[in-house]
Amino acid sequence: MTTTLNVPAADLPAPPDAAKKPYTVKAPHGAQRSDEYYWLRDDKRKNPEMLAYLNAENAYVDAVMKPLKPLEDKLYGEIVGRIKQDDSSVPYRERGYWYYTRFETGQDYPIHARRKGSMEDAEQVLLDVNAMAKGKDYFSVGAMEVTQDNQILAWADDAVGRRQYKIRFKNLATGEIYSDVIENTSTDLVWADDNKTLFYVENDPKTLLTVRIKKHVLGTPASKDVLVYEEKDDSFYMGIERSRDDAYICINIHSTVSSEVRCAPAADPKEFFVLAPRQRDVEYDADHLGGRWVIRTNAPGADGKPAPNFKLVTADDGARSIKEWKDWIAHRDDVFVEGFELFDGFTAVAERSNALERLRLIGKDGKEEFVKADEPAFSMGLSVNSEHDTPWLRYTYTSLTTPATTYELNTATGERKLLKRQPVIGYDADKYVTERFWATARDGVKVPVSLVYKKGFEKNGKAALLQYAYGSYGMSMDPGFNSTVVSLLDRGMVYAIAHIRGGQEMGRKWYDDGKLFHKQNTFNDFVDVTADLVKAGYAAPDRVAAYGGSAGGLLMGAIANMAPDKYRVVLSQVPFVDVVTTMLDASIPLTTNEYDEWGNPEKKDYYDYMLSYSPYDNLKKQAYPAMFVGTGLWDSQVQYWEPAKYVARLRDLDTGKQPVLFRTNMDAGHGGKSGRFRRFREQAEMYSFMIDQMQVSADIVAK
């Protein structure tokens, strides 16, 4: 059977119609644009007219989706039914304690705990997030750090969803919650060796930029916290961490194209030295072990050759400039160095080649080997390796058919232990197939695609397909297991991840070719992947759905304007669709950090290029696909008014008859609702809309 709304348009309520109010957005170079829905922006989220519009849109979604509520409930039950409710993470050892997170049946939030000596010893609960979240619409613990003497816990929590955290403290010996509270922070927390001084990052309360490093001494007012470092350049982010050997506390300062690391001895962190002064187009990150620095960088070597795919260099303990760095792992045009982990006896290097991840192990004797994988498309990476004086490497492995798995590999003997494979109740990996497909973009570039479907699938050009991508910030969308997708595969659908330019799956050039004045490649790649998948028989031309979120929502808006006829449905979550207006406003959180990603529209050449693809500005009179657009009222990364304005203008211009739904989560931010179950209700609603629109069977296909 198929499920359809089967409700005459006349019987459905009319979609909301937002009021138009004249407003002109001006650029410094004189350009002007009319924005009749600018009034929907309210930084305080209190404007009654704006809230009434968002609530009207939610009521419209409720009315349109009412016939599909049974399917939504069914999907939600399937998704949640695959979750092992009394689950726990793989414990890791640090300073004599085993730390882990566990869930209890029926509970939405984790319990963070530890055991001293071994996992057979008594449990000590650090934080029961279920109790902390009680009575709150949203709650998240963003970070936790324990003092070097194992006695005091600091954590950062957010009760709004805007990623402005409060830091609090607990005495783990007595259970006492201290009265100290620090507001407007990020999640980075580092204790000094004195076990009473905490270093943290303070955010600007309006722009949310990481602007200051401060230190707090337990028992003193937060208003007296000492300023350690202030970043004056608002195109940079900041973080703080300990070095691998715990010898240093390091401030990591980075923009899209430049980095700087400042460190101080953890035993006496009074003065921070600069490891290497920042330079435009030179990025680096560093760690310390065995009396030397190991640095991942794209800086040219002594020969002057650039290293866009990054390399590893070393430096003596006292080195303070790039000139003192010595090449260790050379740059390669076909391998992107993504990260590394230092151990006493070896180094693990995380790399990318041919759009796949791999781990290269380098022994002290210089011998190298790769950690093996068994599937054509997979995701592999470093896991929690809290101790460096061990031959055991922990790493994660997953694919579109293999649930998240944690292995432990003895680099001396080759012995491998399976520590955990994420339980997925009722799931049988043997019933599904994953493969790698290469599409050809219009400029001739080959674009990798990861595919998964149920065994028995026939490439006869009749199936429904969901195509997902992101394509920005150099973030790679690796083919990892997604339990919600199983409900689609079981109904005969194909799921595809398009590894388009703008990500970093194929190295740094893949990223560079999908940003700034090359951004159009990102959108072209996605559309061209769709065309090739349809041509190859993976989907019917009228049964393709596109899905993306955040910057991937920008992608959704762009492809809906470019090629509306290629998509039956577009699913867009927290979409960045008003590119030019947002990037012209430095008061909006995160804007200034991203000039090297999108460009600064205060410069006319960037303005004109961004305007050429900005989804809100390029809406036009044409028939658009069915759309489901979601946002969070408290989103700090893509403000709610971007999708709100986009949908309001889309309703004015759309000449088609497909439904456009706009759901605002009134008590959440960029990541949706908190808790491990509630977010799946949103996913089930969106999936039920897509399944209905593409005439996919509501029942599971037996094969």
Positions annotated as catalytic residues are 550, 635, 670
User: Is 167 within 8 Å of 181 (Cβ atoms)?
Assistant: yes
Q: How far apart are CA 689 and CA 413, in angstroms?
A: 52
Q: How far apart are CA 79 and CA 73, in angstroms?
A: 10
DSSP 177: B
Helix (H, G, I), strand (E, B) or coil at 627: strand
Q: How far apart are the first and last CA of the chain?
A: 16
Q: How far apart are CA 158 and CA 138, in angstroms?
A: 8
Residues 6+ apart with CB under 8 A from 224: none
How many CB atoms lie under 10 A from the CB of residue 485? 19
Beta strands 626-632 and 273-274, pairing class = unpaired
Residues 6+ apart with CB under 8 A from 194: none
Q: How far apart are CA 644 and CA 245, in angstroms?
A: 48
**Helix or strand holding residue 128 (H, E):** strand 123-128
Q: How far apart are CA 81 and CA 75, in angstroms?
A: 10
User: Is 505 within 8 Å of 479 (Cβ atoms)?
Assistant: no
User: Is 275 within 8 Å of 296 (Cβ atoms)?
Assistant: no
Distances in Å between the alpha carbon of 35 and those of 21, 22, 498, 581, 642?
8, 7, 33, 9, 12
Q: How far apart are CA 640 and CA 588, in angstroms?
A: 12
Helices 604-613 and 520-535 cross at an angle (nearest 10°) of 20
DSSP 132: H
Query: What amino acid occupies position 358?
Result: R
Show the tokens assigned to 531: 């065309």
Helix (H, G, I), strand (E, B) or coil at 485: helix
Contacts 24+ apart (CB under 8 A), 228-236: 228/199, 228/272, 229/262, 229/272, 234/207, 234/209, 234/586, 234/592, 234/593, 235/592, 235/593, 235/595, 235/596, 236/593
Q: How far apart are CA 113 and CA 97, in angstroms?
A: 10
**Helix or strand holding residue 284 (H, E):** strand 284-289
